[in-house]
Chains A and B, each alone.
Chain A
Amino acid sequence: MDIGLIAQQTVNGLMLGLIYSLVAVGFTLFFGVLDVIKFSHGDMLTWGVFTAFSVYLGLTLIGLAAPVLILVIVALVAMAAIGFLGAAIAKVLIIPLKGAPPLNTLLITLMLGTVLRESIRLFYPDGANPKHFPALLPDWSHSWGHFTLRFDNALMLLTGLLMIVLVQLVIKRTKLGMAIRAVSQDEETARVMGINFNLVVYVTFAIGSALAAFAGVIYVLYYNELSFNMGLLLGAIGFSAAAVGGFGNIYGAIVGGFLFAMLQSIGAAALPFASAYKDVFAFGVVIVLIAVKPTGILGEKETERV
């Protein structure tokens, strides 16, 4: 295999890894504050993409022509809307179930994911069919031999990495981040210290969901296609990535996301069987990894063993 192809696969893998990481960071944030898995996360991403698409249609309808401006508005509106939706879901479905067995929350959000997915399929105009999303970034590119670096890919990668760094800074350096970390460590002590627990939960869910919408916009810019069930697999992959990295650990989520993308790339390019088996391979490795490291590579904070 020549070096150009490898470079191409690497860029592809990095893009996917970035998207998976963004989704996985959401999972891990939710797990941090409430010890719950919100499985509808992938479908929040779908909703983000469809919001973005609708806003795009609306903007072109009123005659806005500057693609970059459209993109910025589209991304911001999608993130704000999905962030709000995430907080609302936390209020209505997640917090009321706080005392119930944790798997109930997993189930309820799985079902919520189905509700979100199906409502797009049934109620969005022509929602059952895939749609085309236009390329809103300029299509400059530069070639080295067989390897073509597209400007928009590089820009997306950069923005995505900046976003991860930003979230990391918010968590580590701000007062809000300190509150989030306090709640993840010990809810009751955090309350005693005067932290508004519910507010922190809402804000965390808003941040995580907005990240999902952001990941969705990047995904749809990269693949130029959106469909109602795109979120299911992305959600499952994000969940796997967060679990493989270790729930509650942001670095773990990032490592897990890029690891999963790497596995897919290896499965597609470097292994002897057909590339269609790449997901089979990647999920298989995830199962093995979980068997070897039951609380993820970077490990959850505490485990109780008998």
Chain B
Amino acid sequence: MSEPSRTHASLLPSVAAVLAGAVYMVFFLAGESQMVVFGLLVGAVLALAAFKHWRVLDAVGQSARDHQGPFSIVVVAAVAAVCLYFYDDAFVLFLLGTVLVYVLTCLGLNIQFGFVGVMNFAGASFFGVGCYTAAVLTKHTALPHLLIIVLGGLLAALLGFVILIPVLKTRGHYAALVTIAFALLFKTFLEVNDTLGGPQGLKAAGLNLFGWDVGRDIAIGDFEGSFYLGYIAVILLLAILGFIMARRMEDSWIGLNMDAVRLDETVSACFGQSIPRWKITAFTIGNFYCGVAGAFYAMMLGYIAPTNFTFGDSLILLSIVILGGLGSLWGTVVATGIVIIIPEKFQVLQEYRFLLFSALVIAILLFRPQGLLPRPLRGYRTLKSLPGKS
């Protein structure tokens, strides 16, 4: 954005990058032996370093930024293609579905932390609110499941209001304390509460959309796919909706005001911005994202327990946001993939994942605090009236 005279970059590099990424994902997910997986991992790191050295990555980033719409469509198509490739592999499909669930959750946290700067250490708790809403409502009511997913988000947002006043009145460390205390409180509450299943947790019914039982294997003609394909279709749609909404928010005056509040509360208050207003907006929308993702996750998993909603899980969610880059939506997507998929494919790492990710975040904060894919400077090239002029 810095040189106004720069020509529009071509779409080609970004499409090529997405295709390469998709092919890589197929190999990585299909890799059986630990050696293959490890080799692919090392190969990826080396390739990225080489591409960075030859400035290929810059070209890809520029091309993606100049063609956001087409680029996003290509990415979605690539994700769908990867999912279809593994049409009967339940494990891989479940993994991909989980990634998409976490993408939605972390987008919500990114709106809170990356846009307005409200740090939410209780992300897993709000996710859990959605899960428990889904479990209870699918069991005791006959509400349509789509409505239940929305209700999960609404309830999470509503519960967020409980700690809203302390979050608004405090700053910095005191605000962090509020969400930390809430996360600990919430988990203890779930563990000792018998009506919600206590430490054993609850069963949740599978998703049923307008009579389509998503939890059943798909058979269209000769094609037979795992039922997870249906779940992935739904969560992919939800994640896309969430992404578009977050992007629209970021590009609009809302995002601009949120940036102002994050960068300097005092100054933006002097310019007439209402700080509580933007904090409430971001906090509530973010929790809504978490709740929706949680409600869907409960239906996909079929079973939930308090151990999924610990403080440690909240920290992992925050690590994803920081790893990807604060306020960077694509960064969140990429980081979620890394954080969720690598330990699952790498069984050796599974045991060490908390340790490794914590160490990784420490390294990132020390050496690359802007994250893997830093949020680009605000540039209004995406607006139709501006291309070429900015």
Contact = CB atoms under 8 A, between A and B. Distances in A.
A104 to B, nearest CB: 6
Interface of A: 31, 37, 93, 96-97, 100, 102-104, 106-108, 110-112, 114-115, 118-119, 122, 232-233, 236, 239-240, 243, 247, 274, 276-277, 279-280, 283-284, 286-288, 290-291, 294-296, 304, 306
A290 B177 contact: yes
Given A247-B173, A280-B185, A306-B266, A287 B166 contact: yes
A286 B275 CA distance: 24
A45 to B, nearest CB: 16
Given A111-B359, A276-B188, A287-B185, 8 more contacts: A100-B369, A102-B172, A106-B173, A276-B192, A284-B185, A290-B174, A291-B169, A294-B174
The 4 closest A-B pairs by CB, nearest first: A276-B192, A291-B166, A114-B358, A118-B355
Contacts of B177: 239-240, 243, 286, 290
Interface residues of B, number: 45
Contacts of B355: 114-115, 118-119, 122
B295 interface: no
B319 A243 contact: no
Contacts of A97: 365-366
B312 interface: yes
Given A102-B172, A114-B312, A304-B266, A280 B165 contact: no
A263 to B, nearest CB: 12
B172 A274 contact: no
A280 B180 contact: no
B181 interface: yes
Given A104-B365, A277-B189, A306-B270, A110 B181 contact: no
Contact of A283 (B181, B269, B361): B181
Given A114-B355, A240-B177, A291-B165, A104 B172 contact: no
12 contacts: A37-B176, A106-B176, A107-B318, A111-B361, A115-B355, A118-B355, A122-B351, A279-B184, A286-B181, A294-B171, A306-B269, A306-B275
A154 to B, nearest CB: 31
Nearest to B322: A107
Contacts of A232: 311
Residue picked from B192, B312, B319, most chain A C-beta under 10 Å: B192
Given A102-B173, A294-B174, A236 B365 contact: no
B315 A114 contact: yes
A302 to B, nearest CB: 13
A104 B188 CA distance: 27
Contact of A93 (B171, B174, B181, B362): B362
Interface in B125-175: 163, 165-166, 169-174
B40 interface: no
Nearest to A239: B177
A294 B170 CA distance: 5
B275 to A, nearest CB: 8
Contacts of A100: 365, 369
B173 A111 contact: no
Contacts of A119: 355
Interface string B311-341: 1100100110010000000000000000000
A4 B279 CA distance: 50
A232 B357 CA distance: 17
Nearest to A119: B355
A51 B169 CA distance: 41
A101 to B, nearest CB: 9
A283 B180 CA distance: 9
A111 B188 contact: no
A236 B266 contact: no
B153 to A, nearest CB: 23
Nearest to A123: B355
A97 B362 CA distance: 11
A115 B362 CA distance: 10
